[in-house]
A and B are shown apart, each in its own frame.
Chain A
């Protein structure tokens, strides 16, 4: 557990952080968010004493951070930054082993640990351990950054806009991976970002800061539904219902009993379309190759022409995709259903607009108005494929 009490940082006349107090229970992700210059990074950097607080106390599991040497303290706190800061002259494996080496671990202890962590962050060690940072893409480098921060198994992780410098697609993947790793490892994480969607997606609690002060500290749901001030309300954005969809993922609402057939090219009998509208076409190993819309069959189209071939990388979502992204995908394609596939493209289920709507039954504003006749009626439906 991390406790901040009246933590203040002043530079001469300027107060960068003003009497900030909050508490992060062990194993939770606390996201510090706010406009630039609000003091979120300063607050983060005071926790590992890269910046010394002017006043106030910070405790980690009841121990005041001022009681240990800064270097000693930092070796037990993972640290991930936006620019990653991998050491260019060291290999990926050596980078990951940095803190264990500082702690005086022996080689036979830190080496397997480094390889294990590379595996965890999705970089097969056989391929990546001996590479140098300049041979990595931005996303890969940040994975190494996360592995490096986890190397000495610190209970606490500080992350300063870790996914801020990568492209949106990579960012989404890294966020999903981070959520997965966090589910496994249950670290206490303080995470700085200026991206509200990212905060909502990852946070157990959000600390919203403004001009050095803490505006509100609570769960994302509370910030969205009961903002403490107009500033919080405006900062979280007007599309709050949509934002809340960022909290849930496809796995929570998808149905797995979908109709599918490997007979892609042959005629689909009308009887195959029982209670669902789509029959999915897959190859032998279950990889999504297309679908058939049963209404097309009803309309009298010859069955052999009814199949629509698709690329799963574009036309499907993953179980860990947020409902917000899934919804945006549906709107983009003009369908009320979308297939769910795993990382290899194998069909695992289907998520429908109705299911998403049900999860936000209590939501306010315009999503509630998404009745058939209005927005959805405007969606190009069958025509989209003809």
Chain B
């Protein structure tokens, strides 16, 4: 069967998600594999939760925080490039640039004294940290749309809202999606660390494993977390590809 070239990465990404979901769901597989790798270990598999449960916890943390990030970040990026928000463009860009130099662990750490431990403080930290690439790419993407195109659209009688929807956003989609992708992948990584502040997820077996000197737990969590990040990255790369207007494809 012939596939359109632009669909190939998308199909591959979806296939990756399916395979990943299957692997995560097969607790037996993990037990057998880890027992084989660590024959001496009495308990080669993290006992507190199955891989599937841990992955779902992880996804919940990332899903809520990244979802909030998109809901707030993209409109914010759009707003500061509109005349009504232009006054705040500098402040927003400055904070976003500054924020991007912050180590993610430090952002988690700075949130703790204010919000305490647990899932929700971690969600807030991930939400805030995830904003930086999303806002910065939304602004960059929209500002990269050639002024001549907007002029042309205006000349054809399009209103502001229509120009945004029909011209600017489609042209900026690739850049915005790249920001979303960076943001989500960083969030998956930081969420692993957030296990240390009681947010749960795939970081649990890694931290727990190091604490009790059980390398099998560590490997279990690390493998699942790495796969999750790679699969999510692939999926978002596919989405990036799909959202890119055909005329802009390289």
Per the CB under 8 Å rule, do A and B touch in the complex? no
